[in-house]
Structure 1
Amino acid sequence: MSNILSVLNSNSLEIAVNKHSNLLIIGKASTNYCYNTITYCNDYNNVLNNYGNSDLSNAFKVAQDNGVEDIFLLNIKSNDDYFLIIETLKQNDFTYIAPINTLLSDYYYDKNNNNKKTYYAEYLLKEINNNDSIFIFTDKHANLYEDQLAYLKDMNFLSKEITNNIVSSKCKENLIFVANNLKNYTMSNLILAIALCTTDISLYPTSNFGPALFLIDQYDDTYNFAYFKNHTDIDTTVENLLNFKDVSIEKIVTVQRIIKMIKREMDFSEFHGRLYNEYQRLLIYKKIEKYLSSLLDYVIYNYDIISIDPYKDPNNPCTIIVVCILEVWPKNCLEKCSIKIGVEVG
């Protein structure tokens, strides 16, 4: 199966985009160009001309210079613009989304919920639960702190606050928090997103991170957040790479990448509109089996197709939803993961 999807750029031209390694950067420009509108960009000079010398333009250059091929930009002026663009974000399944001017600790008071203190990351995660886009956030830079103890105290407090606030969210695996402790970069979430975009899914994400601030390691308390670590014999690495999902093997980002790749590749559009019967079920089974077998010794080392069962859509009795339950054993992992995919036919 192809790992390319087609999108329309601002000139309504169709472009082939890798659906496993594209990046949406959300941030501030110094112009009003395409305000609150997503654009596909591939030339820095055009970006600089359109968005001006700005955080958004600079982020694009860093991403492109470090090998990201498919970059989308979204020009917002303030965090409140998320309320205006939320429907657009819902309709697009980006691989990674990196807000460069919004911190994980940024919040507002929700007038529709008794003025409850609500984090913007919490709002995004709750609203966008129909696609597999992963939000990567960071927070205050480590160079603002006098010592490591104070820094870790704040990051742990924030991480636990977010964890407690997203208890009811369905897609907690779609949020990653990385400590902002790279010396040469102001927003480390962008750098992590770049590493995830440019590293093959079968490998642990690496990049030219440069030196990290503070000597954080596995013996420190790092609750639900990743961090960058210096080494004497190898380059800087990203450690504790977890999402906010409850404790399970799918909390590990490298495992979740494999699951999302499989879900994105399970395209059953050719079955839409067909009358469901046992033959259609067999074709679906064979398609799944062919794809999963192609992944053996690449990103998985075993799989099992548990069930393929039809159900009537409660909202549309004339439509049949075929629910496929799969189990896969990801590479470098002793536990299995369950994947549920719905196929609309009939």
Structure 2
Amino acid sequence: MDVSLNLWVLTILGLSALIAVDFFIGRKPHDVSMREAGIWTVVWIALAALFGLGLMLFGTAQASGEFFAGFITEKSLSVDNLFVFVLIMAKFSVPTHLQQRVLLIGVLIALVLRAVFIAAGAAIIASFSWVFFIFGAFLMYTAWKLIQEARSDEEEEEFEENRLLKSIEKRFGVADRYHGTKLFIRANGKRILTPLMVVMLAIGTTDVLFALDSIPAIFGLTQDPYIVFTANAFALMGLRQLYFLIGGLLKKLVHLSYGLSVILGFIGVKLVLHALHETGVHVPEISIPVSLAVICGVLVITTITSLIASKRQAERAAAEADGDEGSRGGESGKDSIQV
């Protein structure tokens, strides 16, 4: 898809305007209700759908299909980010009324950093077609790693600060408590960070780790930097509302890692096939409609099986609890008879 500089500028200005509206509507710190989160989640998904349809009307059907495949993939991978966001919020004991501000700025930082990754990835792909082999192998390795983590009984219960974050805290210092929405304060004549600023940086920089697999994944679906960037932008900007909307549902998505591993492995195979095709080897390539069908199908199946498994687990826990109460009641009855 041939994208002019003017279209790039208009797209960035349009996204900036949407972000500004989102910011000013929710600029006052408050606890986000399910209704508010639901409305804004629908708004961002609807905007993404309109953008994809616009690509079909004013561009090509292939560009539209690539956008929707990329958006759904990035959205599903972003849901996995929410698990870590929950850990970060708990680690820093972020007050509930400040969490929406943390996520907004944190996601903006993540979007800027991803834009750098996308530009670098596009430049590498344009110069070295063999990089598809590396991307494909990396995605298949990531898929295998996700399965290993999902099968492991060990759970990550605490967020560990990365080296960059630790160095920033050491360099500037951090206040011992939150000061509303302030990012910096003066203490003993020195300007130091507030915990709110630290959490925002934690959200933004931690997302870089997720970008290491999500960016190669979307380049496996399209090599158009414009589509890659816009799909990432729409997926990330609705993440804040999704955090509040499905926060309680996250624990029920017990098979999400398996689903994401299948998607990443599938795209990894697609990349390897594409790389072979580029080197002159006659192999079948996986089309965008097939990719879109596989991605959506895996997500639907994963969600259904997760909810079924969570329901059965809850029923077993309830049955065990009733059994324990019954045994305690029986022991109490025996004691009373003996007395």
Instruction: Flag whether TM exceeds 0.5 (same fold).
Output: no
Q: Higher strand proportion, which one?
A: 1
Question: TM-score, with normalisation over the residues of structure 1?
Answer: 0.26
Question: TM-score, with normalisation over the residues of structure 2?
Answer: 0.27
Structure number with greater Rg is: 2
Q: Higher helix proportion, which one?
A: 2
Choose between structure 1 and 2 for higher RCO, CA contacts under 8 A separated by at least 6 residues: 2
